[in-house]
Amino acid sequence: MLDKERMPRHVAIIMDGNGRWAKKRGLPRVAGHNAGMKTMKKIVDHSDKLGIEYLTVYAFSTENWKRSIAEVSGIFKLLVTYVNSELKELVENNVKVTVLGDYRQIPSDAEKSLEKTLEATKNNTGLRFNIALNYGSRDEIRRAVEEIARGVQAGNLNPEDITEDTISAHLFTGKLHLDIPDPELVIRTSGELRLSNYLLWQTAYSELVFSDVLWPDFSPEEYEKAIEEYQSRDRRFGGR
């Protein structure tokens, strides 16, 4: 039973297992991504119902460009389909969509659909739904360091004044960009036990929950199990 008083403000998810889900069924990988997109919609809806304030999903990493042209193309076509079919409901449910990563490198039709969603939901005040798209944490940190270095070079910042807060502020999630708090809970599906270059700075003290369930089969019930696991832990942040 979930404790409403101990609900994480921010949940981050690595949606893994679409390809294996499709392979088990003798289907093309893009069919797995299509099933995964439907699961993502369910989890967004359920997060809203649970009162979670921030949900961040790892949709496409900087490393995913190494995949086949057909698979990459299929992923972005599905993104366009999702945006076009769900935009009205996102607006009605007061969901605000934001993007982590350099999405301007994605195909133009996907970029246009995404910008339409960002514009339509920008004033919404409910669930903040963050899509990590063309995102890699090491690239994010590199960009932050570059911004800080330019500030030092311009004389706007002294090197001795650079703190952890300074670095945090310059990340995609930081107050200079989106002002998203660090996630309390990170969930990865499909049985893999790694972060895969995802929110490496922000997850320093996050609780990690790994599920063996492939992402397309990750139901709201499985989601609640992961949150229950989070709630069962004693978070000491290095203390006793």
Q: What angle do CA 113, 117, 123 make, to 5 degrees?
A: 160
What is the reported pLDDT for 236?
Answer: 76
130 is catalytic: no
Residue ranges covered by each domain of the chain? 4-136+181-231
Name which CATH class applies to 4-136+181-231: alpha beta
At 2 the pLDDT is 95
Options 64, 93, 124, 197, the catalytic residue: 64
Residue 48 Rama label (left phi>0; alpha psi -120 to 50; beta): alpha
Tokens representing 42 are 């369910």
DSSP string for residues in 8-59: -SEEEEE---HHHHHHHTT--HHHHHHHHHHHHHHHHHHHHHHT-SEEEEEE
The reply to whether 6 sits in an annotated binding site is no
The two tokens of residue 233 are 């832990």
- Could you tell me the pLDDT band of residue 104, with boundaries at 50, 70 and 90? confident
Q: Check pLDDT > 80 for residue 58.
A: yes
Question: Whole-angstrom Cα distance, residue 81 to residue 77?
Answer: 6
**Torsion 123-127-133-135 (CA) sign:** positive
pLDDT at 192 over 70: yes
Residue 201 marked as a ligand binder: no
Is 16 a catalytic site residue? yes
- Please tell me the chain's helix, strand, coil percentages from 3-state DSSP, rounded to the nearest 5: 50, 15, 35
Q: Is 238 annotated as a binding residue?
A: no
Residue-wise pLDDT tens digits, 150-171 = 999 999 999 999 999 999 999 9
Strand, helix or coil at 196? coil
Task: Please tell me which residue in 16, 48, 134, 182 is annotated as part of the active site.
Answer: 16
Hey, what are 194's tokens? 């790694």
